[in-house]
Structure 1
Amino acid sequence: MKPTVYILFICLFGVALHIRAQHKVDSLTYYYQVVGHPESNSQLAKAYNFFKQHKNQSLQKKDIEKAVFDLRLLASIEKKMGLLSDSEISSVEALELLGQMEDSEKIKENRIGIYNHLGIVYRSLDNPSKALEFYNKSLELVEDESSRATLLNNIGNLYLDKNEYTKALMYFEEAYDKSPYLSLKMKARVLDNLGVAQSKLNLPEALPNLLEALSIKENSNYVPGIITSYSHLSDYYLDIGDKEVARDYGYKALDLAKILNNPQYLESALSTLMLLNGTPEVVQYKKLKDSLEKARRNAKDNFEYYRYQFSEQQRLFEESEFKRQKLFMLLVLVVLVFIAVYFVGRIKHNKEKLQKVFETETRISKKVHDEVANDVYQIMTKLQSSKETEEVLDHLEAVYRKTRDISKENSEIDVGSNFGETLMELLKGFHTEDVRVLVQNISKVEWKLFSNLQKATIYRVLQELMVNMRKHSKATYVVLKFKQNGKRFQIQYTDNGVGTELCKKNGLQNTENRIKSIKGSITFETDNGAGFKALIRI
């Protein structure tokens, strides 16, 4: 690719990225404006989908601040679309995300806004106690006069809903005292609510305040506010018994609600006109319907609110539970390590003990050979030269043979690469004119797979079996079958001797202890006159 073409490609690519980023920024600005001033429900739906996707992207990027921004807009859209429970859920989720961030002025502003929004939502859900709780939370944090006036106005509306007009008047008056800090729309809204409270208390300044509020709204072309003023004036004239003027303001509110095509305003205007134009039955039905609707909303389980309210306690409980589980797991680990160390130490101790037995046997064998056998041999030599009796010589020769046998039985074992031959020599040593010893498959055993301790143990166990055969069994033949399958190994011993009552003591008990020490097993099968069998498994 030529340099100029390459540079052109990079420039075009950069422009494309810039356009894409600009489009994303423009979309964010556009849909933000839609939330503030929607022209239709379809616009709100598109804005909802945009901010839903934007929130998920923010969470993936771990940008908590942007995710909170998105959730607040989602909550606002859901409130406008009448999805009050969804709006509550979005607001609570935003609060939970704020809990993950360090306190700052920005976090404080977000909390104030979310608390206020939740107050509005709970008022719409006919739950004034929760609404008041969140309004007061917001009021504790707010400092600027305009925001305080908004919250005071909202609290005043709560008391209007509860027909506590004196309390409502107190909050509206305090809010209106902050008029120099308020926008015209906000001033008109507070003044309008003040007039409503005054009208319910039959105060003379009620109508002038209601009309002044309407005038400010009309001059500002604040259509939603104008509809509200028409409704309030309709209620005012209905309360004083002038149904004609009340009906006139009611129809004005309906006409503007049709222009806005807002279901909430339409329902409110039609409801007022039903009360003005309907029969007593219609009025009774309307009141009953409103009562049932309010009861239904009050009965709803506001699960998300309670989840937020107790989230901190739950978090602390989970942390405590996690610490407890960690402590428990640590304790279990310590116990397991202790058990493992104990058994490893025990196995090691048994191996060391067995090794010491072999060392002791070897030492005894050497001492018997070097000292006792030699001394006996020297005595025999002296006696022969002194021409002593044959009986003494025969006795000494028997003693000599015994010491030689003891030495041989406990001598050091060659457990090296020639172990198979060493073991075969041991077994052949018991082959005599009277006893035939048959050994099968010993050459097929891979002795390199066995430890020195295992080989020495096998040697001693077979030696003890053969010695036991020679001393007690009166057998004429012995068969030893070796069988190996990987690390599994067994030796089957069989003789045709006189057998015995199976009683594990002396030699038999010794063989069993030796085999157990290397995690093996030995079983015996015998009876008087029926021969003797042993099966060794390792």
Structure 2
Amino acid sequence: MRTTFPFILFYKLKMFLLFFGIIFLMHACETKTTKKIQKKKYSAEIEKFIAKADTFYDHNKIDSSLLYFNKALALSNPDVNYVQYVYVLSSIADILTIDSDYATSEELLTRTLPYLSKIKEPIYARNVYSFMAYNYHNTYDFENALLYHKKALKLPATSFKKAVILKDIATVFMDQKKYKTAIEILKPLTSEKIVFKKWPQFGKQFHADVLVNLGYCYFKLKQSIAINYYRESLKINLKVNNKYSLYHIYRLFSEFYQESNPKLALIYAKKSYEQAYLVKSARNRVNSLAQLIRTSEGNALKKYSHDYIKIIDSITEGRRRAKNQFSNMKYLSKKDKEENLQLKTDKIENELELEREKNRNFILYVIIAFSLTSLLFLFYYLVSKGRREKIDAVYKSETQIARKLHTELSYDIYETLSFAKKNELSHDNKEKFLSHLNNIYSKTRNISRENSEILTDENFEKVLKEMISGYSSSKLNIIVNGLSTFSWSKIDRVKKITVFRVVQEIFNQVKNRNSSLASITFKIDQGEIIITYADNSSEIHNQNNLNERFANIENRLKLIKGTFNVSLNQNQGFKVLIKFPI
């Protein structure tokens, strides 16, 4: 009767909590319906705008891309569509970085930070960190640039993406004029094994960029080997027809030959300008014109200087217009968003819904109060049950020890007392009598050790060694190997207790055998601890009998996912092999 009532009570409580748990979940689902509807309604439309924006971006139509990204941003609710919200903001920030509006770009990227922890895919956080690093790099804040590049590098990614980040880090070191540090990063990246499986051509372009950066580092260190890296990079860029990189490599060739061969330097400067003109990049044209100015003379110098000033003025005016356009888009986006939210609020809120919400909250409070009371009762019941089980376990342990003392010591004590009564304790009889007493002491000590607490702190190795040594005698020599070859402090407490008990049981099984030599070896191999025991007993064994005798050890090892194998030695004795993961 004592155990049946709590079981029935516990079962009823479980069913009751399950019932009210279902009601609570239904309520929670109902309160989230509005957000789910909103998400389904707007996600598809946002994706359409994002797809168009990405297409325009891929075709280098930056203004159109920015327009559609802003349309997607107007519909994005960061509390509902936070993945799309982060992607859109980081994409706009990327465009602004390209257009050198680093301050606005950083402001947009900062708005994404609270939502990064909600997104499982690491690509979004990696993009945000990389774009922030680019902004800091372009504004000469090299320490923060390295900080955010390293944040991006810590996130999970393919080998190609990690290689790209490492190249970006090397670029920061190059701008810090730490060319040797940059070389140490870039050299391992020259391997052509780093490929981009989705678009193999990108892998080739990346390889060419690494080579040209490596060449530039050697050029700055005044080492002629730089030209070899330039030529190899040019060869790859011509093969894949990468116009953006060709402008840069031709400019570097011009710088390389500027002092040693001015005519060749001028030829490469013109080639660089031609490539910059083809890709319609005002910033690249400015850089190419700067190199042309350095390598030209006379009327050509005047012409290139005039073109340089004209393009600089055009870029300044373009940036001002783009900034005004973005500010206007941001204002309209915010206004449209507020109007949409107001309309949705007017439709959702009414008196009936408020009344229903009030009733649901009242029921919810009652459920929470009842659930807490039930859980409190359940807690005290389980604590009480645990105490009773502990008392029962102590009683069983005491009974087992008493039974073992009676079984193993009663005959020895009786025999010792009889010997003392029948014989005078002369010299020879005294030695025999002391031998009997020593035997009783050894058995008592072993029983005590088997049921005593096991130390699992830094003294575990010492305690384990002492326990093994306790089985050594004048008749049995025990060799222990490898016990100190690894740190036991790193092993789990439960596993140390299991090792202690398993080794103890092995020696308990063999203490009454006629072995004269036993060895036990400890070692770690491939993440596993391996314990090997062997002796030279001449006693004849049966394999099945051995398995039965060591069944308790096998059961202990199952708790720590270990394996146990016992086998007869070829000549005499037997061998035990134990393995379990660290």
Q: TM-score, normalised by structure 2?
A: 0.41
Compare CA radii of gyration and give the structure with the larger one.
1
TM (norm. structure 1) is 0.44
